[in-house]
Structure 1
Amino acid sequence: MTKSKPVSINGDTRKFAISDEIKRYSMIDLGFKETNNKNFLYDHPLYNESPYNATMKFKVTVNAEMNHLTMVITDKTGLQKVNIFKNENLKPARELLEYMLRDLMEKQVIEEV
């Protein structure tokens, strides 16, 4: 498998890539959905108190060949990128993001490079 190009989340200094150990069933267990063009999409709300009134989303896409990764935080419409690292009021969202990233790394979907 070809190694994916390292990517970073808007505003974050770390870089991530697809793990060499990635497995389709691990992605399904984590909540990735297979799209019509066979890509895998993880679309999770980032919220302070309730996921029902979340103002942001964390989106991860892995292509069907599992060699291309995108990671982005957007507004709730999914159209505008949001930088949660520059606003101290968004600390709860950053903590939730850290939890999700740790889960993705533990299940060997992504790795920090």
Structure 2
Amino acid sequence: MKLMAYVKKLKIKGDTRTYKLSSDIKKYTLRDVGFVESKNGKFQLERSLDPNSPFNKGLKFKMAITSNLKTFKMLATSANGLNEVNIYKSTDADVHIEQLNYILEELEKRHVLEKIGQKLSENENL
């Protein structure tokens, strides 16, 4: 993952929503949703943002959580995983955003993440 600091809350580049780790987060839940525990106890998740094939060389969603489950980092990256990208400005942005939303919603349902802020877009009603 890109060398960015672990934080308590963050936004994915280009997104208006801010997330934090859920206060109900559990290590077994992280394993259930696909996180892999490293030797030093950190949990890492990597998912393709290509809804047609998880094996295509496309944009990726990456997330890492410290072993004490207090801080994390997450970002969308290029196919090689080295560069952070703004999927909201990518080609096929709507497809990538839909896949990202699916991943984030699943992490919210499973009490890994909590949304703590979101600006309404012009299309959304109050």
TM-score (norm 1): 0.91
- Equivalent residue for 2:62? 59
> Given that residues 47 and 54 in structure 2 are in contact (C-alpha distance below 8 angstroms), is that contact kept between their aligned partners in structure 1?
no
3-state SS of the aligned residue for 1:41?
A: strand
Q: Which runs of 5+ in 1 are unaligned?
A: none
TM-score (norm 2): 0.82
* 1:75 matches 2:81: no
Q: Match for 1:110 among 106, 110, 113?
A: 113
**Greater helix share, structure number:** 1
Moved over 4 A (4+): none
Q: Which runs of 5+ in 2 are unaligned?
A: 1-6, 117-126
Quote the Cα distance in structure 2 between the aligned partners of 1:30 and 1:76: 22
Tell me how many residue pairs correspond in the alignment.
Answer: 110
Q: Match for 1:46 among 12, 37, 49?
A: 49
Indicate the structure (1 or 2) with the bigger Cα radius of gyration: 2
Alpha-carbon shift at residue 77 of structure 1 (Å): 1.1
Aligned CA-pair RMSD: 1.3
Q: Indicate the larger mover: 80-89 or 14-23.
A: 80-89
- Equivalent residue for 1:13? 16
Quote the Cα distance in structure 2 between the aligned partners of 1:48 and 1:26: 23
Residue identity over aligned pairs, in percent, reads 35
